[in-house]
């Protein structure tokens, strides 16, 4: 293990966040996409330490923003989160922190490490409203970030058609859910590899695909540049194909929720400006389906075989994501067994530092995150945590309904659909889902701020300058003509 290289890398990340908190946030979001590639192919011996890279740069950005006046650098003040959201954030984070001292965790360090999973990305939602000053900056970021999907999707295609023993088809050491090295997940009768792209494991890539789809749709509608629209349309088609190549049923379900939600909710609740663009949603969905039919038929046939083979399991998992926690209310009790008791990362920490084992070993029969949260936090903590998550969904919808810009309304709709889907998917215990969750939560105050700045820009008397430019051009024309008026103007 090269500790010198790791130390230099950590210092560089800390320096980025402390120098400019915005650069720190952007770096963390890019690391989400490329971190897995670094862990799988570049720094394989240091995989578990690289896992914390985005957290290192974010914590330094937090320090710059909250402690050293970074928040005052914003040129405009965004609307604040509502008091109810603030109360749930404080109570939820506070309850989980106190529950870290639960004796059932076996170790305070393990409990605090489990607490970190819940709250490490929460401050991000308070920084996002200050991240962009106007809609143009926001659009530029989204275009850049979504263009990253092109190389990621192309890599996924190559992985799918490569054999399981290919160097491209590996998981990062210690990735949550990953099996032993060389034991690569396959699906379908022909045993195709379940692709991971640049991500450490399948779950992270699945989250990225749904998140990308939700932002690609509104950006595609707003883009005027023909070449950029072609590139992003190609990225959309690649993302659709890679959804089937992951072999993940929940990913396809999430994509259906996003795509159908865009089409239906835009038609029902959209403004006239939104509805006029809804044809592009239909066109994008049609193009994706054609691509699936012509280019990615093999992947979706293998996925269909997996769905048909595990049909009863599929139904059980869907129902469990809603109802399974009811079966464990008595088992969880008032305080649960402490944060981290069901998290594989905490188990790895215990083994590495030789910490005492927890009071129980629990895993949900259907891998339902809701049940695991209940067992960790107890009934009050569960209600606080999911009360906060539900409020975020509600306030995102309210925010979207008050916006005037068709583009921002569509972005708000995409964020709403992802947050809604994440209520029933793995979010807290998936670092990719977790950071995207709180990034999107920050849209609640960000989008009204951008909407307001767009109105101010449109209301500026800039158009009044144009007649003056027109008169100047007319005057120059008269001077060139050599008429008597030209002599007077020249004088």
By C-alpha distance, which of 437, 436, 445, 452 is closest to 395?
Answer: 445
65 and 170 housed in the same domain: no
pTM: 0.89
Structural domain ending residue among the three candidates 53, 73, 93: 73
Kindly give, in sequence order, each residue whose CB lies less than 8 Å from that of residue 334, ignoring residues fewer than 6 positions away: 378, 379, 380
Q: How confident is the model at residue 313 (pLDDT cuts 50, 70, 90)?
A: low
Closest CA relative to residue 146, chosen from 228, 252, 68, 203:
228
Within this chain, do residues 121 and 247 fall inside the same structural domain, yes or no?
yes
* Residues forming beta bridges with residue 193, ordered by sequence position: 186
202-242 per-position pLDDT tens digit: 999 999 999 999 999 999 888 887 889 889 988 988 998 99
Do 424 and 328 have their domain in common?
yes
Can you give the C-alpha Rg of the chain in angstroms? 25
Q: What is the pLDDT of residue 278?
A: 65
Structure tokens of 325? Answer: 């926690």
Please list the alpha-helical segments (H only) found in 179-323.
Answer: 202-222, 226-245, 249-269, 272-275, 278-294, 297-309, 311-323
If one compares 479 and 19, the residue with the highest pLDDT of the two is 19
Question: Same structural domain for residues 231 and 309?
Answer: yes
Query: What are residue 193's phi and psi, to 5 degrees?
Result: -70, 140
Query: What is the reported pLDDT for 458?
Result: 55
Nearest to 339 by CA among 433, 426, 429: 429
Strand partners of residue 186: 193
Which residue, among 361, 308, 291, 356, has the nearest Cα to 107 in the 3D structure? 356
Together in a domain, 89 and 61: no
Task: Please check whether residue 263 is in contact with residue 282, taking contact to mean a CB–CB distance below 8 angstroms.
Answer: yes
Same domain? For 32 and 169 the reply is no
347, 358 in Cβ contact below 8 A?
Answer: no
Considering the domain architecture, whether residues 275 and 302 belong to the same structural domain is answered as yes
Give the model confidence (pLDDT) of 60-76 as tens digits. Answer: 999 999 998 777 776 77
The boundaries of the domain holding residue 208 are 79-459
Are 271 and 145 in the same domain? yes
> Among 153-162, 382-391, 462-471, where is mean pLDDT lowest?
462-471
Contacts of 325 (CB under 8 A, 6+ apart): 368, 370, 371, 374, 382
DSSP class per residue in 317-355: HHHHHHHGGGGGHHHHTTTTT-TTTT-HHHHHHHHHHTP
Domain count, the chain: 3
Same domain, 483 and 392: no
Same domain, 371 and 480: no
Distance CA 289, CA 308 (A): 20
Cα–Cα distance for residue pair 287/290, rounded to 1 Å: 5
Confidence of residue 116 (pLDDT cuts 50, 70, 90): very high
Do 179 and 203 have their domain in common? yes
Q: What is the pLDDT of residue 220?
A: 86
24 & 56 share domain: yes
Answer whether residue 158 shows pLDDT above 70. yes
Q: Is the dihedral of CA 376, 377, 378, 379 positive or negative?
A: negative
- Summarised one tens digit per residue, pLDDT across range 335-347 is 999 999 999 889 8
Spatial distance between the Cα atoms of 57 and 419, rounded to a whole number of angstroms: 24
- pLDDT score for 464: 38
For the record, the structure tokens of 243 come out as 């959804």
């Amino acid at each position: 293990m090269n500790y010198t290289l790791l130390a230099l890398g950590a210092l560089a990340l800390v320096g980025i966040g402390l120098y400019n908190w915005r650069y720190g946030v952007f770096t963390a979001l890019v690391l989400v996409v490329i971190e897995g590639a670094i862990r799988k192919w570049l720094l394989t011996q240091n995989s578990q330490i690289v896992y914390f890279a985005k957290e290192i740069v974010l914590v330094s950005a937090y320090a710059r923003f909250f402690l050293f006046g970074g928040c005052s650098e914003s040129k405009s003040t965004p609307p604040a989160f509502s008091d109810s959201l603030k109360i749930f954030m404080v109570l939820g984070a506070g309850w989980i922190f106190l529950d870290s001292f639960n004796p059932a965790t076996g170790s305070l360090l393990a409990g605090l490490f489990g607490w970190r999973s819940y709250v490490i990305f929460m401050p991000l939602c308070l920084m996002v409203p200050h991240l962009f000053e106007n809609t143009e900056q926001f659009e530029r970021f989204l275009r850049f970030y979504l263009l990253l999907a092109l190389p990621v999707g192309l890599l996924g295609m190559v992985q799918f058609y490569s054999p399981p023993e290919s160097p491209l088809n590996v998981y990062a050491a210690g990735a949550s859910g990953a099996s032993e090295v060389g034991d690569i997940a396959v699906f379908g009768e022909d045993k195709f590899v379940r692709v991971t792209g640049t991500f450490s494991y399948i779950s992270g890539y699945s989250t990225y695909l749904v998140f990308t789809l939700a932002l690609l749709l509104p950006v595609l509608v707003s883009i005027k540049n023909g070449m950029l629209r072609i590139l992003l349309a190609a990225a959309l088609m690649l993302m659709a194909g890679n959804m089937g190549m992951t072999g993940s049923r929940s990913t396809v379900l999430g994509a259906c929720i996003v795509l159908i939600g865009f089409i239906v909710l835009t038609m029902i609740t959209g403004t006239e400006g939104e509805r006029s663009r809804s044809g592009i949603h239909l066109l994008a969905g049609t193009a994706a389906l054609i691509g699936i039919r012509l280019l990615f038929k093999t992947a979706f046939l293998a996925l269909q075989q997996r769905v048909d083979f595990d049909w009863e399991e599929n139904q059980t998992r869907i129902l469990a994501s809603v109802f399974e926690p009811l079966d464990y209310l008595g088992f969880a009790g008032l305080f649960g067994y402490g944060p981290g008791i069901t998290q594989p990362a905490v188990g790895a920490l215990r083994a590495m530092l030789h910490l005492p084992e927890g009071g129980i070993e629990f895993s949900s029969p259907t891998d339902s995150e809701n049940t695991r949260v209940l067992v960790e936090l107890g009934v009050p903590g569960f209600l606080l945590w999911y009360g906060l998550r539900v409020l975020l969904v509600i306030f995102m919808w309210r925010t979207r309904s008050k916006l005037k810009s068709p583009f921002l309304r569509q972005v708000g709709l995409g964020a709403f659909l992802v947050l809604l889907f994440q209520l029933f998917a793995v979010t807290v215990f998936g670092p990719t889902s977790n950071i995207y969750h709180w990034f999107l939560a920050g849209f609640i105050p960000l989008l009204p701020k951008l909407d307001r700045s767009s109105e101010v820009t449109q209301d500026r008397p800039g158009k009044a300058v144009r007649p003056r430019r027109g008169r100047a051009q007319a005057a120059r024309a008269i001077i060139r003509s050599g008429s008597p008026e030209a002599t007077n103007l020249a004088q």
